[in-house]
């Protein structure tokens, strides 16, 4: 009984959006550290609930197709499937309550739009990939990139020239890395996407070319980040320096999937979680150097 319980908890964390939702929190923390914005627990809770509901709704809508490429996840989802509508309703009520209590009008609108477009993604926007190549990849990457703006909106921070430069750098960095992650995760969804007629990079160019492209993006994105941060300040460069290890970690789970190990896709879905680890290593490095 205890073994089944812990297995359920582990599967819930890995396969039902919690691990990926931690990634959305990591983007918030990552951007706030680079922008020097002090954040509070309420923004993290709001973002967590919002993105968990988006992931849960997506899995709820796509459980039939998901069973073609991820049987473990779909089997776990079937355990709680009949409760998901109630979880979504309660979650949306809790989210709205937190927004009304803690947020300003701008951030309420921002979060509501993110959730709305997240809910519409599996119902409408994802299907546009049948007509527009790579649409779902750019769509999802854009949502993640927009998250770097939330700390500024949430705390009504006035943007100076330096902050605007940093914001543009991390916005594009987030978008590029998110796009890479979507290209990578589409490899596991090849059969399902092919059945649905989606024009993903994997279907258009093949798995081997996808691996080549994401490996290039993997390393060039880090070079881009560190290169442009050098023009802002040495402190920011030192803070971000440990992230140079990120491409090596990404290459590791790329190789896992090439060998047929599904764990690589699970690790890949946590792309943004690793940013938080490396940025904290950067803070430790600054303390040591000072």
Q: What is the pLDDT of residues 212-238, one digit of tens each?
A: 999 999 999 999 999 888 888 888 888
| Residue range 1-36, pLDDT digits in tens | 776 666 667 766 666 677 788 999 999 999 999 999
Residue 260 scores a pLDDT above 90: no
Helices (H), the chain: 2-15, 18-35, 41-61, 63-69, 71-80, 84-102, 105-123, 135-146, 150-154, 161-188, 190-196, 201-205, 207-229, 234-240, 246-258, 263-268, 271-289
Span 119-130, average pLDDT? 90
Determine how many CB atoms are found less than 10 A away from the CB of residue 81.
13
**Are the CB atoms for 52 and 84 separated by under 8 Å?**
no
- Among residues 156, 140, 173, the alpha carbon closest in space to that of 51 is found at 140
pLDDT at 73 (0 to 100): 66
Residue 145 scores a pLDDT above 70: yes
**Are the CB atoms for 24 and 275 separated by under 8 Å?**
no
- Among residues 245, 253, 247, the alpha carbon closest in space to that of 279 is found at 245
| More confident site: 80 or 202 | 202
| More confident site: 54 or 285 | 54
Instruction: Quote the percentage of the chain above a pLDDT of 70.
Output: 91
pLDDT at 112 (0 to 100): 95
Radius of gyration, alpha carbons of the chain:
19
pLDDT at 138 (0 to 100): 95
pLDDT at 8 (0 to 100): 67
pLDDT at 114 (0 to 100): 95
pLDDT at 27 (0 to 100): 95
| Residue range 44-99, pLDDT digits in tens | 999 999 999 998 888 777 766 665 566 666 676 777 778 888 989 999 999 999 99
Distance CA 6, CA 66 (A): 23
pLDDT at 82 (0 to 100): 84
**Are the CB atoms for 68 and 192 separated by under 8 Å?**
yes
**Are the CB atoms for 242 and 278 separated by under 8 Å?**
yes
pLDDT at 248 (0 to 100): 95
Question: Under 8 Å CB-to-CB from 4, ≥6 apart: which residues?
Answer: none
Which tokens sit at 228?
A: 């442009």
Quick one: how far is CA 135 from the chain centroid?
Answer: 17
- Ordered by start, the domain boundaries in the chain are 2-289
Span 249-254, average pLDDT? 95
pLDDT at 5 (0 to 100): 64
Mean of pLDDT over the chain: 88
Residue 251 scores a pLDDT above 90: yes
């Amino acid at each position: 009984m205890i073994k089944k319980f812990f297995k359920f908890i582990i599967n819930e964390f890995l396969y039902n959006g919690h691990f990926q939702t931690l990634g959305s929190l990591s983007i918030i923390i990552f951007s706030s550290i680079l922008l020097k914005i002090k954040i509070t627990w309420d923004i993290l809770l709001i973002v967590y609930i919002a993105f968990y509901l988006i992931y849960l709704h997506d899995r709820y809508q796509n459980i039939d197709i998901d069973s073609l490429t991820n049987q473990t996840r779909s089997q776990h989802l079937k355990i709680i499937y009949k409760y998901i509508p109630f979880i979504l309703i309660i979650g949306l009520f809790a989210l709205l309550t937190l927004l009304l209590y803690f947020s300003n009008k701008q951030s309420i609108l921002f979060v509501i739009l993110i959730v709305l477009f997240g809910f519409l993604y599996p119902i409408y926007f994802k299907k546009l990939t049948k007509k527009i190549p790579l649409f779902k990849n750019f769509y999802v990457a854009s949502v993640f990139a927009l998250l770097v703006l939330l700390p500024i909106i949430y705390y009504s921070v006035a943007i100076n020239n330096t902050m605007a430069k940093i914001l543009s750098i991390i916005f594009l960095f987030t978008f590029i890395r998110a796009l890479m992650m979507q290209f990578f995760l589409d490899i596991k969804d090849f059969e399902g996407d092919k059945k649905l007629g989606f024009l993903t990079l994997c279907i258009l160019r093949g798995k081997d070319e996808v691996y080549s492209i994401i490996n290039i993006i993997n390393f060039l994105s880090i070079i881009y980040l560190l290169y442009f941060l050098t023009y802002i300040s040495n402190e920011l460069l030192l803070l971000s320096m440990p992230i140079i290890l990120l491409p090596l970690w990404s290459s590791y789970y790329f190789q896992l999937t090439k060998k047929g190990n599904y764990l690589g896709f699970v690790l890949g879905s946590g792309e943004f979680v690793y940013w938080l680890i490396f940025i904290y290593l950067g803070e430790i490095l600054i303390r040591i150097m000072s």
